[in-house]
Amino acid sequence: RTIGKVEVSRFLNNNGHNFFVTFLSEMGNVERISVDDAQLTGPNARARVATIQDGLPPSDYGQKFIASPSAVTATISGLSNGVPYFVRIRAQNMQGLGDYALASPAPLAPMESPSAPADVSMHVLSNKEIRISWKSPESTGGGQILKFLVQWDVDGAFPNVESSGFHEEVTPSSAEIEGIFCFTVEIDESSSSSPRFGRVLAHNGYEWSPPGIPEPAFVTPHLRPPGFVPGLTAFPTSSVGIMLEWSYPLAESCEYGGDGGSPVTHYILEWDVSSDFSSPAQSVSIPSTLSTYHLGGRDVITGAESSILEPGGSYFLRLSAFNALGSGPAALIRSESGVAEKIGPLSDTLPEAPTIHPQDITNVLSATSIRVDWDPPGLDGGSVIESYSIDYDTSKDFDNPDTIKLPVVHEMQTAVVHAPDVNVEVQALRATVEVINEVQSVRTTVSGVDEVQIVSTTCDDVLSEVQTVTTTAIDTDEEQRVALIASDVDEIQLVRSHGDDVPEIQGVTVSVPRTNEVQQFGILISNINTDGDNVESSACFGVNVGEPCQDIEDAISGSFTVSFEFDRCGGGGGNANFCQAALSKHDPSLGI
C-alpha cells in the first residue's frame, strides 16, 4: 500500500549497495521504514535503515480529505487574504493514493473587493475643465489594483453615467500605484454653469470597490486666476545681475495649475532682502510672452551696469502670473528642502557661450581656410570680454585641437571740463559716433546754489528708438526741467518723475507750434493686486486688463490737481485762449 510518492537511488559500496529513499509527498517526518532481509544471500548478509534527514511539511501546507467519492467540488477555508496558493488533487482506492492533478491557474489567492479609493478630491481648472484626484485604496482586497473607474454627472445619483459616456477607466502602471492619480474632465462651455458631481472606483481583478466620494461632492466650472508659475529657477549673472527662467502655467500635476481658463496677461517679479518681502519689496512687470528675465545685470555691448540690485547683495525672489481675474499664488525660489532660498551673495562669474552662426559653403574662403562667425555672449559674467579662444580639430571630440586667441580691444574716451568758478557760461561737449545700442553719459559735478545745468542731446532723424534722459539730485524745493524738442510726427513722449511720498507739486509743460490738436493728460496707477493675500475678491471682476476699474478708483483716497496757466494758453492779439474755451465747453460755470 502506497503512502506517497518516493524516489529511490542505488549506489555501490564495499560489500553491496546503498539505497537512498526520498519521500516526495508532503508527509512531514514519517516513521522509519522497516525492511525484510531474509532473502539476502552471502556471509553475514543483512540490511539496515538510517535516517539521513528528517522531513518537514511545507510552509502554509494543508490538506483536506473528501469522503464522498462522487464529490467534484470543495471549498478551502481559513486561508490568508491575498496570499497565493497552489492546489492539487489526487484520488485514493484500496491500493493507495494515485498521482496529482494541479489546479489551474496556479497560484490563486483568496480575494475580496477593495476598499474605496482614498483622499478623493475635485477642483476646478477653468470654465471648461475640472480635475478629480485620488489615492489607492487602503485595502486592496488581496489583489493588485488593476484599474480605476472615474465617473461624473450633473446629478448626484449618477443616472446618466452609462448613457452619456460620463466615465473613463484609468489604468495605472506598477510604479504609479502608490502615488496620486488624477483625471481631467472636459466640460462643454455651453453647460459650464451646471455643477458636476464625481466619484472614483477601484478594481483588483475580482470586484469593483465602493465609490470614493470627493469632498465637496460637486463643483461648478468657472474661470480662475492662474496657478503657480512652474519651473522657476534663478542664478547670478554678475555682481549686479540675476537671470530667471520659468515655464508658462500648465495644469500638468494633480494639484491646481494652469492659467485658469484665461490667458496670462503678464507676470510680476518681486525681489527683497527679507524673506517675507516686507522691506518693502521691489517689483517689475514682465510680458506674458517671456519665460526668461534678466534682473539688473550688465550690458555686454556698452558695459553699462544696472543699479537695481546692490553689488554683492543677496535676494529672495518670487514670481506671480496674472490673468483677467487677478494674480495666482507666488512661486518662490526654494532649496531642495522646500524653504525659501536667497540668491547670492552676487558675484561676477564666467561668461556664457557665444552663439555660433550656422556654417555652409559660404564659410569656405580658400583651399586652406574657413571663416567662423558668432555673436557675443548674452551674459559676460560681469566683466569685460577680453578675448575669444577658437579651437579647431579634425576630431569632433577635440582630442588634439589647435587654438587661436583673438583679443578684444576696448576703448574709452573721456572729456573733462574744469573751472574753479563758473558764471553764466555755456560748456559744450560733442560726441559723434556711428554705433548702435550704446550708452552715452554726461556727468556734471559742481558745488553751487541755485544754478542752472542744461544737458542737450541732438541727433539726425531717428525712427522707433528709445531715448532716455535721467537726472538725479539730492535736494528739495528745486526745479528740474526736461525739454523735448522734436518735429510733431505722431510720436509718443513720456515724462516720468519719481520721488518719496511727500507733499509736492509736479509740473509738466507741453509746448508745440501747432493748433487744433488733441493733447491728453492722465494719471495711471498700476500693479494693484485686487486679490490681496490670495483671498477671493470680486473687485474688477469682468474688467479686462488695461481697462479702468471703478472699484479701484472708488477706493483711492487723496487728490490730484491738474491746472493750466491761462496766460500761456494762447489769447492776446485776437487769438483764442484754448484753456478758457475748454472750460466753457465742459464746465460752463467756470467758462466765458
Q: Look up the CATH architecture of domain 118-219.
A: Sandwich (2.60)
User: How far is residue 474's CA from residue 590's CA, in Å, rounded to a whole number?
Assistant: 40
| Predicted TM-score of the model (pTM) | 0.57
How far lies 211's CA from each of 113, 134, 296, 353, in Å?
12, 11, 55, 57
For the record, the C-alpha cell of 463 comes out as: 525712427
Q: Residue 297: its pLDDT value, please?
A: 93
Q: Residue 96: its pLDDT value, please?
A: 79
Q: Residue 4: its pLDDT value, please?
A: 67
Q: Any idea which residue has 526668461 for its cell?
A: 292
Residues of the chain with pLDDT under 50: 1, 436
How far lies 3's CA from each of 23, 140, 503, 550, in Å?
9, 41, 111, 98
Task: Specify the amino acid at residue 22.
Answer: T
User: How far is residue 497's CA from residue 490's CA, in Å, rounded to a whole number?
Assistant: 23
Task: Specify the amino acid at residue 584.
Answer: S
Show me where the domains of the chain are located: 118-219, 355-407
Q: Residue 426: its pLDDT value, please?
A: 57
Angle CA 102–107–111, to nearest 5: 130
Q: Residue 415: its pLDDT value, please?
A: 55
Q: Residue 1: its pLDDT value, please?
A: 47
- How many residues does the structure list for the chain? 592
Q: Residue 543: its pLDDT value, please?
A: 74
